[in-house]
Amino acid sequence: MENGISGSTHPVIDTHNDDVDTRDALEEIVYALSDFKGLGTQLTFSQGSCLKVLSRPNEHWWWAEREDGCQGYAPVNHLTTLTRNRQYGQDMEYFDSYSHLKIHHEMLDDKARTLAYQTAIRQNAHLLTDKVILDVGCGTGILSMMCARYGRPKQVYAVEASDIAEYTKDVIHSNKMSDTVTVLHSKVEEVQLEESVDVIISEWMGTILLFEMMVESVLLARDRLLKDGGTLWPSTASLFLVPCSAQKQYGSKMEFWKDQYGFDLSDLIEIAKEEFLQKPVHNHILDPADCLSEASRILNIDMRSVRREDLEQIDLDFEFTVQKSGTLHGFCTWFQVDFEGLDQSIHTVYLNTGPEHELTHWKQNLFLLDSPLSVDKDDVITGQFNLHRNPEWRRHLRVLLRFRVMSSSNNLKVPDREKLFYVWR
Ligand SMILES: NC(=[NH2+])NCCC[C@H]1O[C@@H](n2cnc3c(N)ncnc32)[C@H](O)[C@@H]1O
């Protein structure tokens, strides 16, 4: 664990390859997502600066030129082709989706989710006395009100960018908490506080843990507003993966076309794969009996030390030993977040959205293969699950799944398979 993220491999600088593909020579203007201090042939640049990409020697390092003419290697995970106003437009659409009650009703109605936060707050309540708390994305204000009711904080800043914030102000007033809880109708990126905070609490987790990339806003708040040694709740976040069968789901989307009212529509299966299998099933309820092996925690994020740029491209390896013969229809993901106690004596609170735990509104996510395959007990499935943030649609990501199957006697049963999924662009 070097910088708060474990499970990823770090890019190595390739030699600058002069005979790059002419396609690569297409010059492109990109923007720096964050500062980068270059060493040797690497280019130093600051957040927001504009760079011209001259060539792309590999997927992790591009040869670029600063506006002052300096050239050098720039790390791709620090770059975006997105202009500021296009990002603004995407944010407006995103926050508009949270200005309606439906999504807030769903989250409040998710008892496992909301009670995990309540338990963390109540177990640490006595240590919240006189603390300054920041609730990033407070929505209806439920977490802020829990902090104010169970602890005796000096101040809670409830920050909410969507228009629901105007109603949240009324909710705080009606619950007689206005002297402790201050609702700020603003993006947390733009909020100015007269003091730094002791605790940042936020419910930021999306599909596949990271969709919406709201975690980036929490990390920005951490870097800008959290006291040294301050607490982040959740303190860590993990992503789990398991190979699984999914006969019902695969059959309903694919075999469905083989016989409809006595007619063979299987000519449609190819376009059905495009339409139904390019994105994960986001509301799948995984039956533990469909798991073909033990699940693996493929990613662990330490919220105190992870850097935003580490979340641009997360390349994760996995290896599974098949525990029972069956059909491999795909892979399922879920996540867990931990709330570490404010001191050693207080137990960590866990919220796990996996199939062995109470169902949450996140359910599990099913990545279906185009063509299922048979696997046998003791086969070994190895591969990569690579999460790459969409450089244009900043809240979306792509998942590149690669794997192969070896028999227990180490013979190659299924050569490398690769599939790209969109979440959701
Ligand atoms: N767990 C999730 N996937 N979403 C649940 C929390 C999302 C809430 O945070 C708000 N929100 C998201 N990002 C921000 C931000 N940068 N600043 C303020 N509020 C935000 C958003 O408007 C919504 O009310």
**CB–CB of 91/395 below 8 Å?**
no
Q: Where are the domains of the chain?
A: 5-81, 86-203, 237-423
Indicate if ligand 1 lies below 6 Å from the C-beta of 187.
yes
Indicate if ligand 1 lies below 6 Å from the C-beta of 159.
yes
CA distance 163 to 138: 12
162-193 per-position pLDDT tens digit? 999 999 999 999 999 999 999 999 999 999 99
Known catalytic residue at 212: yes
Q: Whose CA is nearest to atom 2 of ligand 1?
A: 204
1-10, 91-100, 130-139, 237-246: the lowest-pLDDT one = 1-10
Indicate if ligand 1 lies below 6 Å from the C-beta of 234.
no
The label of the residue with tokens 């529509």 reads 265
Indicate if ligand 1 lies below 6 Å from the C-beta of 167.
no
CA distance 254 to 257: 6
326-339/236-244 β-pairing: antiparallel
Mean pLDDT of 269-284: 97
Return the CATH number of 86-203, one of 3.40.50.880, 3.40.50.2300, 3.30.70.2700, 3.40.50.150: 3.40.50.150
Question: Which range is most confident: 50-59, 90-99, 201-210?
Answer: 201-210
Mean pLDDT of 256-283: 97
2/158: higher pLDDT: 158
Indicate if ligand 1 lies below 6 Å from the C-beta of 203.
yes
Q: Looking at the predicted structure, is the pLDDT value of residue 7 above 60?
A: no
Reported CATH class of domain 5-81: mainly beta
Say what the pLDDT of residue 22 is. Answer: 38
Average pLDDT, the chain: 93
* pTM strictly above 0.80: yes
pLDDT level of residue 87 (50, 70, 90 thresholds): confident
Say what the pLDDT of residue 315 is. Answer: 97
Nearest atom in ligand 1 to 139's CA:
24
Indicate if ligand 1 lies below 6 Å from the C-beta of 338.
no
Indicate if ligand 1 lies below 6 Å from the C-beta of 282.
no
ipTM value, please give it: 0.99
Q: Whose CA is nearest to atom 7 of ligand 1?
A: 137
> Three-state secondary structure along 134-150?
EEECCCCCHHHHHHHHH
Tokens found for residue 282 = 């986001």
Indicate if ligand 1 lies below 6 Å from the C-beta of 362.
no
Known catalytic residue at 189: no
Q: Looking at the predicted structure, is the pLDDT value of residue 8 above 60?
A: no
Supply angle C-alpha 200, 202, 207, rounded to 5. Answer: 145
Catalytic choice (65, 160, 212, 309): 212
The label of the residue with tokens 């730094």 reads 196
* Percentage with pLDDT > 70 across the chain: 94
Q: Whose CA is nearest to atom 9 of ligand 1?
A: 137
* Percentage with pLDDT > 90 across the chain: 84
237-423 folds as Hnrnp arginine n-methyltransferase1 (2.70.160)
Q: How far is the CA of 107 from the centre of ligand 1 (A)?
A: 12
Q: How far is CA 258 from CA 264, 265, 275, 371, in A?
A: 5, 5, 17, 15
Nearest atom in ligand 1 to 205's CA:
1
Nearest atom in ligand 1 to 217's CA:
16
385/60: higher pLDDT: 385
To 10 degrees, the CA torsion angle through 87, 302, 368, 277?
0
Q: How far is the CA of 320 from the centre of ligand 1 (A)?
A: 35
Q: Whose CA is nearest to atom 14 of ligand 1?
A: 137
18-32, 47-61, 173-187, 248-262: the lowest-pLDDT one = 18-32
141-165 per-position pLDDT tens digit? 999 999 999 999 999 999 999 999 9
